[in-house]
Chains A and B, each alone.
Chain A
Amino acid sequence: MVDLTTRLGALTLKNPIMPASGTFSEDLADVFDLDCLGAHVTKTITREIRGGNPTPRVCEVQGSMLNSIGIPSKGLDYFKSTILPHYAAYETPLVVSISANDADGFARLCSDVTLPGVAAIEVNISCPNIEEDGKAFAMRPRTTTEVMEKLRAATDLPLWAKLTPNTGETIEVAQAAEAAGADALVVSNTLLAMAIDVRTRRPKLGNLMGGLSGPSMKPIALRMTYQCAKSVDIPVIGCGGIGEVEDVVEFLIAGASAVQVGTATFINPTVMPRLIDGLAEYMHHAGIARISDLVGSVRDEEAADGVVFMEAAP
């Protein structure tokens, strides 16, 4: 019998598989029992009611997808009255993803969702910050520090910072989040991308550009997970293109203590329970007793810091 439990700071999850924010909701309970998951992660909540972006909000690109949903949200009151009570029926810990477009608003929302029934708060600092001309908070270490310090002061719950791949300062941002009090890093959100219909010459997304996710994103997210795990002491949660047991194992070896599964659920809605079973089976056959035996076990002894922390391919 293998032990699938994994530690994320003060939280212990029964297994390392959880959904990525935006690709999961109580609607998935129509397909399988959601209590099998290591954690539940809500779609990002904003304080105000938001309508989201124009359609088309999704298109596919060679075995992956682009999306530009625009964080439609029914607001904080709806979260408290409807979403939170729904998850109270589950044993699985609930992680609430939040966002705001300025640091003070972010902190107030963080304080307002610090509620019984919430196990951790994932802060989507990959979203645009209106005080910085729409640049995402997590694109730069300075803006990461500013927002994370305010968020840290706003809650005693575990705080997970969701990083963006749209930066050339992955390590500096990761370290800034850790120094400002993040309890874990989620690595990462989607990569800004574009697709054009050559026949009509129109961008395929209503919002012109959107986030790349799916298998094409995996090597990028894996590289970032590895770099973050090497440069901080807090746990890293891998996220990007995970759909097979081997992908999960690869992220754990790179240094992730848990993983989030997103786009793969759109293709195979039962992928998460399958990964949980498949991971147990893999570990059993490989003679690996605990998740912690895999985490960060990458054989990179010879690599110099200059290689590990580079931000451009040679």
Chain B
Amino acid sequence: METVIEMPTRGALRKGPVAEGMARIKSNDIVTGDYRLMVLDAPPEMLDCRAGQFFHILCPTGESFRPYLRRPMSIYCFDPAAGELKFLYKVTGEGTGALSELRDGAEVNLLGPLGNGFTIREDWKNLLLVARGVGLATLAPLAKEAREAGCTLTAICSARTEALLMSIAEFEAMGAEVIPVTDDAGTSGVEALREVIEGRIAEGGLDAMYTCGSNRILTLLQDIGARHAIPGEIALEQQMACGLGMCHCCVRSFRREGGIVHERVCREGPVFDLQEAMGW
């Protein structure tokens, strides 16, 4: 992991695998409700990303918001050819509030990409993802990787209302079959989802399942996964300070080898084995 470089004195910065620097905002607009899409002009060293990784963002202090710590945010889209990095975020507190006030042309300090992304094993062909709300942002780049790996992907996208169902066009553009479900239509409940997923398994089988964000969906997928021996992964969130693994603030509990272990979401995650993850 580490590179040891002979260097006599002084602090001249050397490039590690993780970049810290400025990126310019191309746009930062409302998508729907409290959701916003930030498009950044990012340097190439920040665009060697994997689906599921995150950036640690230094949110600026302004008149209304005064965040202090950086905020981790999963990558919604990265495009090395266009030099673009996108974040889809929900405005909920000091950090995202501060980000929402940034205008086009402003610069923001990013650290990343950080953490481990999703795995698509070579022998996996049929993939399923279940995402709800802002979790759609974390799972969106997986659609591109699935297509590049020659896999078929079914994306169950869940939200409170139809208006809050984001990214459906993006998933479809990447060749995914999208199954929208909403609380309004009564199609997003656990039992309704179970029926849809069991249907998929009966039809042609599933090789892997992916999710993030919802405890309810985690429990459901763990149950289905255990019953049919289907592996899976989950991207988890936790409050962070350093984002690099030094402070041990962002631990979560996991079941492993008959016991419970703590792992850092920033360093060992944010993507973890579905069955090892514990609800919260």
Contacts and interface: CB of A to CB of B under 8 A. Distances in A.
Interface of A: 4, 14-15, 17, 22-33, 35-36, 43, 51-52, 55-65, 67, 69, 72, 86, 89-90, 214, 265-270, 272-277, 280
A243 B239 CA distance: 22
Interface centre among B2, B12, B17 (most CB of A within 10 A): B2
Interface in B7-30: 7, 9-14, 16-18, 20
Contacts of A86: 2
A32 B13 contact: yes
B245 A25 contact: yes
Contact of A60 (B58, B68, B246): B68
Contact of A72 (B7, B16, B94, B251): B251
A269 to B, nearest CB: 6
Q: Interface residues of B: mostly helix, strand, loop or mixed?
A: loop
B248 A69 contact: yes
A275 B11 CA distance: 8
B244 interface: yes
B267 A27 contact: yes
The interface centre, meaning the residue of A55, A270, A276 with most chain B CB atoms within 10 A of its CB, is A55
B14 A30 contact: no
A7 B5 CA distance: 25
Given A58-B247, A60-B69, A69-B249, A266 B242 contact: yes
Contact of B247 (A56, A63, A67, A90): A67
Contacts of B6: 35
Contact-residue bracket for chain B:
35 or more
Contacts of B245: 25, 27
Nearest to A70: B248
B1 interface: yes
16 contacts: A15-B9, A30-B1, A30-B16, A30-B244, A31-B244, A52-B262, A55-B250, A57-B248, A57-B250, A60-B94, A62-B68, A69-B249, A72-B262, A270-B13, A276-B11, A277-B12
Contacts of B2: 26, 29-30, 86, 89
A276 B10 contact: yes
B238 interface: yes
Contacts of B240: 58
A58 B241 contact: yes
A145 to B, nearest CB: 32
B169 interface: no
A66 to B, nearest CB: 10
Nearest to B242: A266
Contacts of B244: 27-28, 30-31, 269
A160 B249 CA distance: 26
B70 interface: yes
B210 to A, nearest CB: 24
Interface string B75-103: 00000000000000000001000000000
A276 B12 CA distance: 9
Contact of A267 (B70, B248, B262): B70
A280 B10 CA distance: 9
Contacts of B14: 32-33
B128 to A, nearest CB: 30
B64 interface: no
B228 interface: no
Contacts of B68: 60-65, 214, 267
Contacts of B94: 60
Given A51-B262, A58-B240, A273-B13, A33 B248 contact: no
B111 interface: yes
Given A30-B16, A56-B239, 4 more contacts: A30-B17, A59-B239, A62-B68, A69-B248
B37 to A, nearest CB: 26
A62 B65 CA distance: 10
A272 B246 contact: no
B67 interface: yes
Interface string B123-161: 000000000000000000000000000000000000000
